[in-house]
Structure 1
Amino acid sequence: MSVSALNRAPDPVTPHVTPRNRRRPDIEGLRAVAALLIAVYHIWFGTVSGGVDVFLLLTGFLITGSLVRAMERDGRVDLAAFWTKLVKRLFPAGAVVLGAVLLMAHAYFPRSQWTAVIDDVWAAALYYGNWHLALGSVDYMAENSAASPVQHFWSLAVQGQFYLLWPVLIGVAGLLAVRLGRTVRRGAAVAVGAVFALSFAYSLWITSTEPVWAYFDTGARLWELALGGLLALFVHRVDLPGWARAAAGWAGLVALVLCGFVIGDSLPYPGYASLWPTLAALLIILAGAGRAENGRLSANRLLCARPLTWLGGHAYTLFLWHWPVLVLHLELTGQDRPTLGGGFLVLGVSFAAALATSWLVDGGVVRATRRLRTPVWSLAAGILFVVPVLVAGSLWGQSIERDRQLRTELSSNPLAYPGAAVHLDQDLARNLPALPIYPDTTTVARDTINQTRECNALINQPEVVSCEFGDVRSDYTIALVGSSHVRHWFQALETLADQHGWRLVTMTKNACQFSAHEQRYRGAEFPECTQWNDNVMAALEDLEPDTVFTLGSLTSVRTGPDEHVPEGFVERWRQLDDRGVDVVAVRDTPRFSFRVPDCTDRNHRSECSEPRSNSMAAQAPYEELTDVPPNTRFLDMTNYLCQDEVCHGVIGNQLVYYDTNHFSYSFSQSLAMVMEPYFLAAAGRAPEAELTLAEAALPLQEAAQEQGNQS
C-alpha cells in the first residue's frame, strides 16, 4: 500500500448528539453531503475534501447552542450528564469498529504492521489519536510507515478534547457574565470569540512553520469549532431575504463540493485554505436561518430531502467504517487507489457495515439502556465496549513480545543468524538453514529507532545532539556524523569501538547530510540543517576526533537511479583536511521501492529483492572525482548487500532493512565483522596489533558448531 496515496488523514463526522438537528433538517442533509464527499475524495482522489472543517464547525455550532440554552434555562451546565451521554453515544460504535480493525489486521495485514495497529487502536480508543499521529507525522524515521486503518479517528480525538473543554468554558463564562450583570449569551460570545481569535492566529502560524503537525493539532483546529459556536450565538439574528437565502445556500453548497478539487493537497492545511469549506458551511447554515421557509429551488430545500436526512443520521458510522474498509481493500488488492468498481465496492461494504453498526448500537445498546438514565449507567454502557478492545490489544501485544524474545534467543547462534557475515564462509552460505527472520518484523522499526533516538537531532532541531560510546578515555576517537544513512551504521561502529577500545561519538540529524551546501527537505528550504552543519563543525573543532565517519555518496529511488556525490560533501572533507582530521566516507546503501518487512511477511524472502541499478550507479561515483583531499578514504560495502547485481532484503536469516532503506539494528551489528578489515585499512589502523572480530568470534562459532553437531 502506498503511503503517499494515503498520507492525508480522513475527515471527521459529528455524530447526532443534539435535538437541535430536528429543527434544522438541512443541517442533517449537510452532514450527509459532507460524509459522501469525504468518502468519494478519499476513495478515488486521495485528497482532503474540506469535510473535516465542515464537521468541526457543525460540532461547535450544535454543542455551543445546546450548552448556552442549558445555561439560560437552568443556570448551570450539568457536566456529568453531558459527558456521560456523549460516552454512551460515541464509545460503542467506535469500539465496534476498533475491535473489527484488530481482527482485520491480525487476519490480513503483514506482521510488520501489527504493533503499529495496536498502538493506533489504543490512541483512538482513548481519544489522543490526533497527538499520536502528529508525533508520527514529524518523525522522519517513521516516514515509510503504512497508512493506519484507524488514522481517521484523529478527528474524533479533536472533538473529544473539545467536549472536555467547551462545557467548562461556557459554564464559567456564563456564570461570570451573570455576576457582572450581563447575559449568558454575551459572556459566552466573549469567551468563544477569544478562543476563535487566538486559535486562528496560532493556526496560521503553525501551518506556515509545521504544516504536517498543524493538520492534527487541536489548537490549530479549535477556531473552526469556535466559529461554529459564534454562529450559534448570533444566527437567530439573521433573517435574509429570499433571493439572498437562495444565493447563499447554492454558493455554499457548490463551494463545498468543489473544495477538494480547488484545494486538494496543493496548499498548506489548515491555515487560510480551511476558510473555504468553513465559510461554505457557514453560508449554508445562514441560508436556512430565519422564519421564512426554504424556497422550492433552494439548496437548503434540497438538503432537507428525505434520502439525505436519512443518510445524515448514519453519517457517523459511515465515517467510522469507510476508511478501514478502504485500507483493507488496498491491502488485499495491492493497489494504491481503487478502480471505479473497487471504489463502489468499498462504498457498498462501508454502507452495509454502517447500517449494521447503527442497528447494533442505536437499535440495541441505546434502546436497551434507555431507561438507565443515571450518569453511572450511561458511562458503563459506553465503557462496556471500549474495555474489551483495550484488553484485546494488550494481550495481542504481549503475544508479540513473547515471539520477539523467542527469536532473540534463536539469534544468539551466530551460525544460524550470521547476517552479513554469511558471505565470509561459502560453506555456511550454502548450508544455512531457513529459520524465522530476525529481528521480528513486528518490532524491528521500534527497536532500531529506539536504540539511538535520544542521540539524534530531529528535523526542526539545529542543535547538535551528541552521545559517546566505547572507551571514553581512548586515544583514538571516531565521530559518526551525518543523516539517517550514516546513523544506521551506528551498531557496526559501536561493535568495532567496543572490540578495539575506541571512543565513538555520534552527531546525526534526520534528513540532513554532512555538507557545506544548503539543503532542502520535502521541497522546502531547510535552514535547520544549515545551522546544524555549522554547529557540528564547531563541535568537531572542540572534540578533535581522529576520524570522521560519514557518507561518501547519496543514492535515490524516487527520481530514478541518481547516485552521486554532492559538491558540499567534498568541501566538508576539505575543511576537515585543513584541521588534520581523517575522513572515512562510506558509499550509500540501496533503496527499495517497497517496505522490506512488509514484503517478507507477504512473500517468500527470496522475492524481497531489487536490482542494484534501481538506486545505485554502476560504479561508485566518488571514483570519478579528481579533487578528493588526501585525508579522505572510501569504504564500499555494496558487495555484502548485493550479489549478482541484486540487492536482498534478507541476508543470513537477518532482516536487512526495517523500512525501505535503513538497516535494522541487528544487521548493522553483523556488518562489523565484514567491514572491520576495510575500516582498519581506511582509517590507517594496524590490524595485526589488535584482536579482530573474526578472531574473537572463533570460540563462539566453534561452540555453536559443536552444539549443532550434538543436536
Structure 2
Amino acid sequence: MSVPALNRAPDAVTTRVTAPGSRRRPDIEGLRAVAALLIAVYHIWFGTVSGGVDVFLLLTGFLITGSLVRAMERDGRVDLAAFWTKLVKRLFPAGAVVLGAVLLMAYAYFPRSQWTTVIDDVWAAALYYGNWHLALGSVDYMAENSAASPVQHFWSLAVQGQFYLLWPLLVCGAALLAVRLGRSARRGAAVAVGTVFAVSFGYSLWITATAPVWAYFDTGARLWELALGGLLALFVHRVDLPGWARTVAGWAGLAALVLCGLVIGDSLPYPGYASLWPTLAALLIILAGAGTAANGRLSANRLLGARPLTWLGGHAYTLFLWHWPVLVLHLELTGLERPTPGGGLLVLGVSFAAALATSWMVDGGVSRATRRLRTPAWSLAAGVLFVVPVLVAGSLWAQSIERDRQLRTELSSNPLAYPGAAVHLDQDLARNLPSLPVYPDTTTVARDTIDQTRACNALIDQTEVVTCEFGDPRSDYTIALVGSSHVRHWFQALETLADQHGWRLVTMTKNACQFSSGEQRYRGEVFTECAQWNDGVMAALDELEPDTVFTLASLTSVRSGPEEHVPEGFVERWRQLDARGIDVVAVRDTPRFSFRVPDCTDRNHRSECSEPASHSMAERAPYLELDDVPANTRFLDMTGYLCQDDVCHGVIGNQLVYYDTNHFSYSFSQSLAAVMEPYLLEAAGRAPEAELTLAEAALSPEEAAEAAREHDGSS
C-alpha cells in the first residue's frame, strides 16, 4: 500500500489538500489559512475564543478519515508504522524549533519564578500531553494566578496527537470488521465514527456544564469535533448542491466563522453547544465546495482557493505555533495586558516572519535532506532528532534550578539570616539584617507551598470534607483550621505551634469557600458545592468537638471589589460554634497585591515589591465595628507584621511573603508561628504571665517601620 505523504499542517495527511474523492480542494487549504489568522487576531487583540482551533480539529478529522478509508477501500490495509512515523517527521521538527526557542526566550526575558513552569509546560507540549497538563493545572485554584504559559496553545496539538494514535486503529479496525461481515469498509467506519461523535458530544455537553475549565482541554470533550469531520469525509461525496446553494452556504459559513469570536467570545461555556458555531460554519464551507461542479466566480470557496490564501494555508501550522509565544514575550517586555494596535501588528509580523523561517528550515532543509530516507525508522529518527535536544535542555536546566534551590535551603537554615516575620521580634536583628537572596526560591515556591497541603484540601468541585490531623493525636487541646485558601495559608504556622506545644491540629479547608452560613458565589455562579461543604464541616465539627476553631474574621478585596468586610455568615457561624461550646480565633484577612510577588522580586529590588494596604484592606479592621460578637470569639490581627506605615511588603526578613498575589509562602507562614504564639496561647487559656511578655517584646508597627527605613538606608 502507498501511504499518503504528510501535509505541512497537523490537521492533514496529504501533501495536497483533497476531498475524499479525487477532486482537489484548494479551498480547504484557504480555510486553514483563515482559521490560523482568526486564532492569531483574536488572541492578539481580543484575548477570546475565535473558533479557529475548532476548524482545525474538524479538518483533521475530515482529512485523516478520508485518507484512511480510501486506503482501506483501495488496498484493504494501512501501513500504520509508516503512517505514524511520517507524522512524526512532518510535525515534530517545527514544534521542537518553537519549543527550543521558548526555552531560550524564558531564560533571557522571563522572571525566575516562571522558569520551572515553562520547563514543565515545554516537556508536556513536546510529548503531546499538554492538554492534560493544562487541565490539571486549571482545576487548582491555588495556582490560578500563574502567568500565561508561552506554549499554552500546544494543547490543541496534543489533542490531535492523541487522535492520530487512536483514529487509525478505530477506523481501520471498524472497516476490517465490516468487510468480514459482508459490509463495505466505509459503512463500518461510519458506524464507528458516528458512535464516537454521539458519545463524545454528549460527554462534552455534560462536562462543559459541570466543569467548563477542565472541559476546554479534555480530549473526550473535543473528540466529537474530529468525528464530525470524519463523518463529513465519509458522506461528502454524496453532496452536490446547486450553484445558488453553494454560494449561499459558502458565504454563510465564512461569515459565521469570521464573526464567531465576536458573537461568542468568552460569554458561553466552551466547548459544549458554543463550539457548534465554528464547526458547522466550516462544515457549510466544505459542503459548498463539494460535488462535481466548479465553484462559481462569486463563491466563497473560489476566494478561499485563491493563490494567496492557499499559500498562507501552507504556513498555517507554523504561524499557529509562533503567534502565541511571540505575543506572550511582547506582553512580558512591555508590561501590558493587551497589545496596542501597533504592538499587535508587530506581534503578527514577527510571528509570520518566524513561521516562514521555520517552514523554510523544516520543509526546505530537513525534508529535502531526508527525502530519500523513506523507511519508517528514518522518518521517526528525523522527527525525534529535533525533540530530544529540547527535552535534554529542559532537563539540564531543571537540574540547575534544583541545585540553586538546595543552596538557598541551606542558607535559610540560619534563622538570623532568614527570620521572616520573626524579624519583628528583635529590633537589632531588623536593623542589621543582611540582604540575602530571597527564600524560598521563586522558581519553585508555588509548587512547594501547594504540595504541602494539596492532599488535605477540597477542590472547587468537591463537596466532601477532607480532613487531616497533625500534632499529638492524644492531646487534651484540639484546634481546627477551617475555611478557604486564606485560612489554609496559616497552616504551617499552626502546625509549628501544634508540634511545639503538643496540640492536636485538624484541617478542613476548601478552595475559594469561606466558613460561612451565607450564600457564596464562584466566578459569578452560586457556589452550591461550597454550601454543601459547609454543612459537612458543621457535622464534622460536631463529631470532632475541638476546643478552638481557627478561621477568617474578614474578607479583603482588591480596590475594584468591595471593601474589606465581615460577611454576616461569618458571625452566624461563630454563634453556632458558641452554642456548641467551641471557641473561635478569627484572624483578619491578609493583603492582596496587584502583581505576582515572586515575579516582582525577580525583576526589581525587593523594596519595590510593596503595595499600599488601602489597595485591599480597610483603614480599620471591620470586625471592630460589630456590636453582636459572641463571647466565644477572639480576633487576631497580624497586619502589623505584614504592613508598616500603610505599606504591605512582599519580602520580610529575607523571606518571600507570598507565592502569588495573595497567599503566603510555606516558609513565611512557618515564620509567623513566632509572632502568633503568645496570642494563641492566650486564646487557648495556656499562657502564663511570663509567656505573655513575648507579645510586649514584638515591635509595634511604628517601630517596625523605623527599623525597615534604617535597614533600607544601610543596604
- Normalising by structure 2, report the TM-score: 0.94
Q: Which residue of 2 is the match for residue 616 of structure 1?
A: 617
Mapped contact 2:12–2:64 kept (Cα < 8 A): no
Q: Name the stretch that deviates more: 497-506 or 146-155.
A: 497-506
Does residue 174 (structure 1) correspond to residue 172 (structure 2)? The answer is no
Change (3 A) 1:537 1:689: farther
1:516 offset after TM fit, Å? Answer: 1.0
Mapped contact 2:457–2:466 kept (Cα < 8 A): yes
Q: Which residue of 1 is the match for residue 265 of structure 2?
A: 264
Mapped contact 1:437–1:655 kept (Cα < 8 A): yes
Q: Which residue of 1 is the match for residue 234 of structure 2?
A: 233
1:136 offset after TM fit, Å? Answer: 0.8
SS in 2 for 1:174: helix
Q: Which residue of 1 is the match for residue 703 of structure 2?
A: none
Q: What is the rounded CA distance, in whole Å, between the counterparts of 1:637 and 1:501 in structure 2?
A: 23
Change (3 A) 1:61 1:184: same
Letter in 2 for 1:450: D
1:577-628 per-residue CA deviation (whole Å, 9 max, x = no partner) reads 1110000000000000110000111111001101001100011111111111
Q: Name the stretch that deviates more: 355-364 or 12-21.
A: 12-21
Q: Which residue of 1 is the match for residue 576 of structure 2?
A: 575
Q: Name the stretch that deviates more: 243-252 or 14-23.
A: 14-23
Does residue 33 (structure 1) correspond to residue 34 (structure 2)? The answer is yes
Mapped contact 1:58–1:228 kept (Cα < 8 A): yes
Q: Which residue of 1 is the match for residue 446 of structure 2?
A: 445
Q: Which residue of 1 is the match for residue 701 of structure 2?
A: none
What pairs up with 1:489-508 in 2 under 5 angstroms?
489-508=490-509
Q: Which residue of 1 is the match for residue 705 of structure 2?
A: none
**Structure 1 residue runs without a partner (length 5+):** 1-11, 696-711
SS in 1 for 2:468: strand
1:690 offset after TM fit, Å? Answer: 7.4
1:640-687 per-residue CA deviation (whole Å, 9 max, x = no partner) reads 000000000000000000000000000001101011112222332224
Does residue 414 (structure 1) correspond to residue 398 (structure 2)? The answer is no
Mapped contact 1:633–1:683 kept (Cα < 8 A): no
Q: What is the rounded CA distance, in whole Å, between the counterparts of 2:605 and 2:429 in structure 1?
A: 21
Q: Which residue of 2 is the match for residue 157 of structure 1?
A: 158
1:694 offset after TM fit, Å? Answer: 10
Q: What is the rounded CA distance, in whole Å, between the counterparts of 2:15 and 2:72 in structure 1?
A: 16
**Structure 2 residue runs without a partner (length 5+):** 1-7, 19-23, 697-715
Q: Which residue of 2 is the match for residue 530 of structure 1?
A: 531
What pairs up with 1:111-190 in 2 under 5 angstroms?
111-190=112-191
What pairs up with 1:368-447 in 2 under 5 angstroms?
368-447=369-448
Change (3 A) 1:313 1:20: closer
Q: Which residue of 2 is the match for residue 639 of structure 1?
A: 640
Q: Which residue of 2 is the match for residue 18 of structure 1?
A: 14
Letter in 2 for 1:98: L
What pairs up with 1:284-323 in 2 under 5 angstroms?
284-323=285-324
Q: Which residue of 2 is the match for residue 594 of structure 1?
A: 595
Q: What is the rounded CA distance, in whole Å, between the counterparts of 1:594 and 1:96 in structure 2?
A: 31
Q: Which residue of 2 is the match for residue 658 of structure 1?
A: 659
Q: Which residue of 2 is the match for residue 488 of structure 1?
A: 489
1:13 offset after TM fit, Å? Answer: 6.6
Mapped contact 2:9–2:314 kept (Cα < 8 A): no
Letter in 2 for 1:434: S
Mapped contact 1:584–1:683 kept (Cα < 8 A): no
Q: What is the rounded CA distance, in whole Å, between the counterparts of 1:201 and 1:472 in structure 2?
A: 48
Mapped contact 2:678–2:691 kept (Cα < 8 A): no
Regions of 4+ moved over 4 Å: 688-695
Mapped contact 2:99–2:390 kept (Cα < 8 A): yes
1:59-116 per-residue CA deviation (whole Å, 9 max, x = no partner) reads 0000000000111111112111111010000000000000000000000000000000
Mapped contact 1:20–1:62 kept (Cα < 8 A): no
Letter in 2 for 1:235: V
Letter in 2 for 1:569: F
1:472 offset after TM fit, Å? Answer: 1.0
Q: Which residue of 2 is the match for residue 207 of structure 1?
A: 208
SS in 1 for 2:585: strand
1:374-431 per-residue CA deviation (whole Å, 9 max, x = no partner) reads 1111001111110110111011001000000000111111111111111111221111
1:689 offset after TM fit, Å? Answer: 8.1
Q: What is the rounded CA distance, in whole Å, between the counterparts of 2:619 and 2:692 in structure 1?
A: 35
Mapped contact 2:601–2:609 kept (Cα < 8 A): yes
1:143-202 per-residue CA deviation (whole Å, 9 max, x = no partner) reads 100000000000000000000110000111001100111000000011100000111111
Mapped contact 1:561–1:613 kept (Cα < 8 A): no
1:417-460 per-residue CA deviation (whole Å, 9 max, x = no partner) reads 11111111122111111100000000000000001111111111
1:229-261 per-residue CA deviation (whole Å, 9 max, x = no partner) reads 000000001111100001100000111111100
Q: What is the rounded CA distance, in whole Å, between the counterparts of 2:562 and 2:636 in structure 1?
A: 20
Mapped contact 1:13–1:52 kept (Cα < 8 A): no
Q: What is the rounded CA distance, in whole Å, between the counterparts of 1:380 and 1:69 in structure 2?
A: 28
SS in 2 for 1:481: strand
Q: What is the rounded CA distance, in whole Å, between the counterparts of 1:160 and 1:690 in structure 2?
A: 63
1:313-348 per-residue CA deviation (whole Å, 9 max, x = no partner) reads 000001000000000000000001111111111111
Does residue 363 (structure 1) correspond to residue 359 (structure 2)? The answer is no
- Tell me the matched-pair count: 684
Q: What is the rounded CA distance, in whole Å, between the counterparts of 2:405 and 2:60 in structure 1?
A: 44
SS in 2 for 1:355: helix
Does residue 566 (structure 1) correspond to residue 577 (structure 2)? The answer is no
Q: What is the rounded CA distance, in whole Å, between the counterparts of 2:197 and 2:175 in structure 1?
A: 17
1:562 offset after TM fit, Å? Answer: 1.1
Q: Name the stretch that deviates more: 495-504 or 558-567.
A: 558-567
1:560 offset after TM fit, Å? Answer: 3.7
Mapped contact 2:574–2:584 kept (Cα < 8 A): yes
Letter in 2 for 1:17: V
Q: What is the rounded CA distance, in whole Å, between the counterparts of 2:196 and 2:11 in structure 1?
A: 23
Letter in 2 for 1:141: M
Mapped contact 1:673–1:694 kept (Cα < 8 A): no
Q: What is the rounded CA distance, in whole Å, between the counterparts of 1:210 and 1:482 in structure 2?
A: 22
Change (3 A) 1:13 1:422: farther
1:200-249 per-residue CA deviation (whole Å, 9 max, x = no partner) reads 11111111111111111101100000000000000001111100001100
Q: Which residue of 2 is the match for residue 72 of structure 1?
A: 73
What pairs up with 1:540-559 in 2 under 5 angstroms?
540-557=541-558, 559=560
1:14 offset after TM fit, Å? Answer: 3.6
Letter in 1 for 2:386: F
1:16-36 per-residue CA deviation (whole Å, 9 max, x = no partner) reads 531450510000001001111
Change (3 A) 1:65 1:693: farther
RMSD in angstroms over aligned alpha carbons?
A: 1.5
SS in 2 for 1:152: helix
Letter in 2 for 1:548: V
Q: What is the rounded CA distance, in whole Å, between the counterparts of 1:46 and 1:36 in structure 2?
A: 14
1:525 offset after TM fit, Å? Answer: 1.4
Q: Which residue of 1 is the match for residue 222 of structure 2?
A: 221
SS in 1 for 2:480: strand
Q: Which residue of 2 is the match for residue 457 of structure 1?
A: 458
SS in 1 for 2:89: helix
- Normalising by structure 1, report the TM-score: 0.95
Change (3 A) 1:617 1:233: same
Letter in 1 for 2:293: A
Q: Which residue of 2 is the match for residue 342 of structure 1?
A: 343
Letter in 1 for 2:398: G
Letter in 2 for 1:463: E
Letter in 1 for 2:13: V
Q: Which residue of 1 is the match for residue 43 of structure 2?
A: 42
Mapped contact 2:11–2:59 kept (Cα < 8 A): no
